[in-house]
Amino acid sequence: MEKETIYKVKIEKKQQGTRIDLVLSLALPQISRSYLQKLIGSGAVTIDGTVCGNKKCKVEEGQEVVIILPEPQPLNVEAEDIPLDIVYEDEDLLVVNKPKGMVVHPAAGNESGTLVNAVLYHCMGKLSSINGIIRPGIVHRIDKDTSGLLMVAKNDAAHVTLAEQLAKHSITRAYNAIVYHNFAQDQGTVDASIGRDPKNRLRQAVTEQNSKRAVTHFRVLERFGRFTHIEARLETGRTHQIRVHMAYMKHPLLGDGVYGPAKNSFGVQGQMLHARLLGFVHPRTGTYMEFESPLPDEFEQILEKLRRSV
C-alpha cells in the first residue's frame, strides 16, 4: 500500500442503528477494530460526506461510509533477533509455530520480545501494513499462552486475500485442548455470540450485548474422567473464543485462570490450548495448503500423566 487507500461501505437495512466501528469491523475484517477506532477518531471516516469523529456514531440505511487508510507510517517497533520456528515461508507469507508465552504483537507492557519483533527482523521489515504500525503482517492472532500455528503476510495483497478467507470462514483451524470434566457427547457445536464481558472489561463472555456470532465445533479425543482431551475447530475467530465457549459449557481449559480455576493440580500456568492445524488457499497460486504442528512437550507430558491415572 504505497498510497492512501479508500474503502466505501453502503449501509444496509439490517445495519440500521449500529455503531460505526462495529459496521466497519464487519465490513473490513482485515483491519483490526482498534485501528479502525483510531482512524474514526482522527477524522478519516465520513458518513455521506460528513466527518464522523466518534466510534459510537450510529448509521442509517442507505448512507455511504467512506474510510481513508493513510499511507503507512514508518514502523516504530524494533526488529529483534529472536529465534523463530518457521514451518513454511515464501515471498508472500510465513507460517510460524509460536511457543507458549510469546505475545503476538507489542502492546503496553510488552513492547519487545513479541512475534512481531522477531518477524520484523527475519523479514527485514518487509511485511503487510494493513493492520497499522503495531501489527505489521498480522492477519490473525492467538493468545500469549496458546501455542501453535500462525500465518503472517509479507505484503498487502497477501494480507487482503488471507483476511477475506478468514471472513468467509474458509480457513481450516483446529486446536487441541485439555478441559475440565467429562463430556456427555462425543462431539458437538457451540453457536453462541461473544463480546466483552459487561461485568469485567478484561474478559470476553457469551453475551448479546455488542457481540459477534461465534461458532466452535468440538470432538472428544480422549476421556480421563476429571479431564477430557478435545479437538476444537473454529468456524469464526473471536477473541478467546475456544476458552469462552468451553467455560460457557462448564468445561474450562486446564490452566486457564481467567475463565476457569485459578489453581490446578499440575501446576500449569496458562491454558492448555495448541493451534495444531492450519489450512488456507495460497494468495498467489490458489493452491490449498495445510500445515500441522506437534503438541508441545508440556502438553504431551500432562496427557501421559492423565493416561496413567485412568
The 10 Å Cβ neighbour count of residue 211 is 17
Secondary-structure class of domain 5-69 per CATH: alpha beta
| Residue pair 52/39 in contact by the 8 Å Cβ criterion | no
Helices (H), the chain: 20-27, 33-41, 115-122, 156-167, 241-248, 297-309
Which candidate in 21, 92, 143, 145 is catalytic? 143
Rounded to the nearest angstrom, the gap between the alpha carbon of residue 170 and the centroid of all alpha carbons in its chain is 15
Nearest to 78 by CA among 99, 106, 103, 109: 106
183-195 pLDDT, tens digit each: 999 999 999 999 9
Going from the C-alpha of 44 to that of each of 19, 54, 96, the distances in angstroms are 16, 11, 33
172-276+297-309 has the same fold as 5-69: no
How far apart CA 197 and CA 221 sit, in angstroms, is 30
| Residue pair 259/203 in contact by the 8 Å Cβ criterion | yes
Boundaries of every domain in the chain = 5-69, 86-156, 172-276+297-309
What pLDDT score does 2 carry? 46
What pLDDT score does 71 carry? 67
Average pLDDT, consecutive stretches of 10 residues, N- to C-terminus, the chain (310 residues) = 73 90 82 82 90 90 89 70 96 96 79 89 85 76 95 92 90 98 97 90 88 95 97 95 98 97 94 98 97 98 94
Going from the C-alpha of 165 to that of each of 112, 143, 152, 169, 282, the distances in angstroms are 30, 21, 14, 6, 10
For residue 68, the cross-strand partners are 6
Q: Is 156 a catalytic residue?
A: no
Which homologous superfamily is 172-276+297-309 in?
Answer: Pseudouridine synthase (3.30.2350.10)
